[in-house]
Structure 1
Amino acid sequence: MNITRAEQRILHLLAQGGWIELEKDEHGRIASAHCHTRDNWRFAAFDLSLFRKLKRRKAVASRGGGPYRITRRGLELVRSRPDNR
């Protein structure tokens, strides 16, 4: 399955230990999404539409009410790179 370059970047960050945090409004709907690297830096080029694409492809999931992390399906979608440890 082909994924975009932006999705590929996010999957690489998540594969290296990053996570996605969601902010909800007073009605419980998702207001914004933020992607963090393993060093707790926020990745600026991440928005709600990109999160929805990754979730639709089942590349990210949340367990026990925690932050969203990469799934096995997401690891299959990510292309290997030499700096991806």
Structure 2
Amino acid sequence: MNISKKEQRTLHALAQGGKITVLKQGSKIVVAECYTRDGFHLVDCELETFNRLRRRGFIVSNGGKPYRITRSGLAAVRAQLDNR
């Protein structure tokens, strides 16, 4: 499956325990911010990237909680070394 570098970085951060929080204006999502499990803000996650991941079913929000990665998202992300 073709996934851009920004989508790969976002999915990798989510696979390690990150989350995406959204800011809504009415029913429309205006801002989507991705945070790693350590609490750092991921700059590569933009609204366009968020919409593509959500449309493909790689991320989902349950009960108004932040967006997390799904099983199909885990299958789509390529393994990367963790440079800690």
Q: TM-score, normalised by structure 1?
A: 0.91
Q: TM-score, normalised by structure 2?
A: 0.92
1:48 alignment partner in structure 2: 47
Provide structure 2 residue ranges, at least 5 long, that are not aligned to the other structure.
Answer: none
- Per mean C-alpha deviation after superposition, the further-off stretch among 41-50 and 51-60 is 41-50
Distance in 1, Cα, partners of 2:42 & 2:18 = 10
> Once the two structures are aligned, what percentage of the paired residues are identical?
49
Which one-letter code corresponds to 1:74 in the other structure?
G
Distance in 2, Cα, partners of 1:82 & 1:31 = 33
Are 2:70 and 1:71 aligned?
Answer: yes
Q: CA RMSD in A?
A: 1.2
How many residues get paired?
Answer: 83
Which one-letter code corresponds to 2:31 in the other structure?
S
Provide structure 1 residue ranges, at least 5 long, that are not aligned to the other structure.
Answer: none
Deviations 1:21-49 (A, max 9, x none): 00011x23111000000011111222110
